Amino acid sequence: MEDFLTKHNFSKKDIKTIAKTCREMDFKKTDFENLERIIEYFLKLHFSQTAIARRIKAEPQLATTDVESIKKRVKELKDLKYDSKDIAKMLQINSKILTNPSDYLKSTLDFILSKKIKPNIALSMTVHYPYLFDCPNSEIDKKLAEIEKIGFSKEQALSIFEHHPAIVKKEPQFLLDHIGDLMDLDFTLEEAHHLISFSKVYLRGPRDVILAKIKLFLSLGLKNRILTDPYALVANIDSTLAKVEFLKGQGYTSPIHLDRYLFMSGTYFKNRFLVSPKEILVIYKARRELEIARQKKKEKE
Amino acid sequence: MEHLISYLNEDEFLELLKINPDIKNADEEDIVALISILKSIDLQAEQIRKVIIANPFYLTRTPNDIEKLFEAFKSLDVTYLDSILLNCPWLLDKDSFEIEDYIENKINSGLEMEEAMETLLSDVEF
């Protein structure tokens, strides 16, 4: 086995990890032969050597699973319309997908589809959060009900689940804290519910980075943009600040102008405003250097 | 997990484990390497904490894959990776080949390199 792993560029550490699992599972000659075939198959799926060693450590049952049943399961995933890249990604996170009964996948997907979520979104949700397959449907339903109980509508609860499937593992306090953050910024309760469920990234970004973006847009009079554009909070705060400084320097200070120009694509922005494309980079760099210096000073203190 | 505990409090750590139970299988050595990679792009301790909390799956990536990912960004002339990852921590789930394929597809569909990069950084569905 060691020669096989060395030939396939496994590091000593990864070899040690795999050998330990084989020992613990009391491997026989045929088990080793099967495992070699599994490893070759995973390498074909573009798993890294370390990822393979980790999967075997995390899910020892995988090492004794018949390689043909693994291939069959991957085919089932392809039949469900997952692409190869997404299959590899899911399996590297949750390899129980390969060892659990096939109903394990179908039950979750059928459940999501029963909520009138589009099939491509259902696939994307499980790719981004493959542990969703481990959540019993009743638990997801319970979580959705909990979200509704704290004031979100049924549609909003589903939207939160769509944008952030890991919500099924979060306590209600997580959403209550976010609602509190927004109400501290003078959003109404309805606006807070709307923004949290409507924005594509509200629950995916670091909480205070998202809040810093919201505060910035509010200070510029762009509350309406936040509430009507689900992508508004995707904007990078550093480049947005640089653009704001630049626009203000050019005399564009009204919310109408800022709303029009801040959300232009970078290329349009540069074509519209800059004498030299390097100009924005200079402003951007200056701001970043200042920010890093401030951060370091704060850490020293 | 000692190294990780120095960045997170106990509740935060347990919360991450609930979302990504595979963290318990991660090696201390890999965790140290993953955090060190984030430091290498100038992320400060508090920012590292925020990135990890926002994307618990980062802790179960392999350091080698992340190094390749950062190389891919650097080869595309991405500057201020720290700011980009703090704004879009979900990009840490990606592999280098996904970034390269994405940019290549966008360029083949007629976008300039700079536009393709901008699309990548704002494409939350990617």
- 3-state secondary structure (DSSP) of residue A274: coil
Chain B residues whose beta carbon lies within 8 Å of the beta carbon of residue A288: 80, 83
CA angle A197, A198, A203 (to 5 degrees): 55
CB pairs under 8 A between A and B: 100
Does the pLDDT of residue B33 top 90, yes or no?
A: yes
Mean pLDDT of B35-62: 94
Which ipTM was obtained for this model? 0.89
Quote the pLDDT of residue A248: 87
Cβ-nearest to A204 among B19, B42, B54: B54
Chain A residues whose beta carbon lies within 8 Å of the beta carbon of residue B121: 236
Quote the pLDDT of residue A119: 95
Contact between B114 and A205 using a beta-carbon 8 Å cutoff: no
Chain B residues whose beta carbon lies within 8 Å of the beta carbon of residue A295: 44, 47
Chain A residues with CB within 8 Å of chain B CB: 13, 46, 48, 50-51, 54, 57-58, 85, 89, 93-94, 124, 128, 131, 166, 169-170, 200-201, 204-209, 231, 234-239, 265-267, 281, 284, 288, 292, 295-296, 299
- CA–CA distance from A117 to each of A113, A142, A299, B89 (Å)? 5, 17, 45, 25
Going by C-alpha positions, the residue among A24, A98, A86, A19 that lies closest to residue A10 is A19
Burial state string for A247-276 with b = 16 or more CB within 10 A and e = fewer than 16? beeeebeeeeebbebbbeebeebbeebeee
Residues A281/B112/B38/A291 CA torsion (nearest 10 deg) = 20
Residues B73-93 pLDDT 10s? 998 888 788 888 998 899 999
Distance from C-alpha of B59 to C-alpha of A110, rounded to nearest angstrom = 30
> Do A77 and A71 contact (CB within 8 A), yes or no?
no
Task: Categorize the per-residue pLDDT at B35 as very low, low, confident or very high, splitting at 50, 70 and 90.
Answer: very high
- 3-state secondary structure (DSSP) of residue A43: helix
Quote the pLDDT of residue B78: 80
Contact between B112 and A238 using a beta-carbon 8 Å cutoff: no
Cβ-nearest to A238 among B53, B83, B93: B83
pLDDT per position in chain A (301 positions), as tens?
788 999 999 999 899 999 999 998 888 888 899 999 999 999 998 888 988 999 998 888 888 899 999 999 999 999 999 998 899 999 999 988 998 888 889 999 999 999 999 999 999 999 999 999 999 999 999 999 999 999 999 999 999 999 999 999 999 999 999 999 999 999 999 999 999 999 999 999 999 999 999 999 999 999 999 999 999 998 888 888 888 888 888 889 999 999 998 888 777 777 777 666 555 666 666 666 566 666 666 766 6
Chain A residues whose beta carbon lies within 8 Å of the beta carbon of residue B48: none
Cβ contacts of B118 within 8 Å, gap of 6 or more:
A265, A266, A267
Distance from C-alpha of B126 to C-alpha of B123, rounded to nearest angstrom = 6
> HSE-up of B63 (CA within 13 Å, CB side)?
15
Contact between A284 and B50 using a beta-carbon 8 Å cutoff: no
Range from A261-275, B37-51, B100-114 that averages highest in pLDDT: B37-51
Residue in the structure block whose two tokens are 């801040």: A262
B122/A contact by beta carbon, under 8 A: yes
Chain B residues whose beta carbon lies within 8 Å of the beta carbon of residue A207: 50, 54
- CA–CA distance from A56 to each of A3, A28, A77, B22 (Å)? 18, 16, 20, 12
A 10 A CB-CB count for A72 gives: 12
Burial of A70 (0-12, 13-18, 19+ CB in 10 A): buried
Q: Could you tell me which chain B residue has the CA closest to the CA of A162? A: B125
Cβ-nearest to B86 among A204, A209, A299: A209
Quote the pLDDT of residue A104: 87
Q: Could you tell me which chain B residue has the CA closest to the CA of A297? A: B44
Distance from C-alpha of A290 to C-alpha of A262, rounded to nearest angstrom = 22
Chain B residues whose beta carbon lies within 8 Å of the beta carbon of residue A236: 83-84, 87-88, 121
Secondary structure (H, E, C), A185-251: CCCCHHHHHHHHHHCCCCCCCCHHHHHHHHHHHHHCCCHHHHHHCCCHHHCCHHHHHHHHHHHHHCC
Q: Which one of A204, A240, A285 makes the best mutation probe of the B interface by having the most chain B beta carbons within 10 Å?
A: A204
Quote the pLDDT of residue B26: 87
Quote the pLDDT of residue B77: 80
Chain B residues whose beta carbon lies within 8 Å of the beta carbon of residue A281: 79
CA angle A290, A294, A296 (to 5 degrees): 120
Quote the pLDDT of residue A168: 96
Contact between A265 and B115 using a beta-carbon 8 Å cutoff: yes
Distance from C-alpha of A240 to C-alpha of A235, rounded to nearest angstrom = 7
Centroid of chain to Cα A108: 19
Contact between B80 and A231 using a beta-carbon 8 Å cutoff: no
> Do A46 and A5 contact (CB within 8 A), yes or no?
no
Chain B residues whose beta carbon lies within 8 Å of the beta carbon of residue A131: 19-21
Contact between B65 and A237 using a beta-carbon 8 Å cutoff: no
Quote the pLDDT of residue A297: 63
Quote the pLDDT of residue A41: 94
Distance from C-alpha of A226 to C-alpha of A136, rounded to nearest angstrom = 35
Contact between A267 and B118 using a beta-carbon 8 Å cutoff: yes
Q: Which helix (H) or strand (E) holds B20?
A: none
Distance from C-alpha of B79 to C-alpha of A63, rounded to nearest angstrom = 42
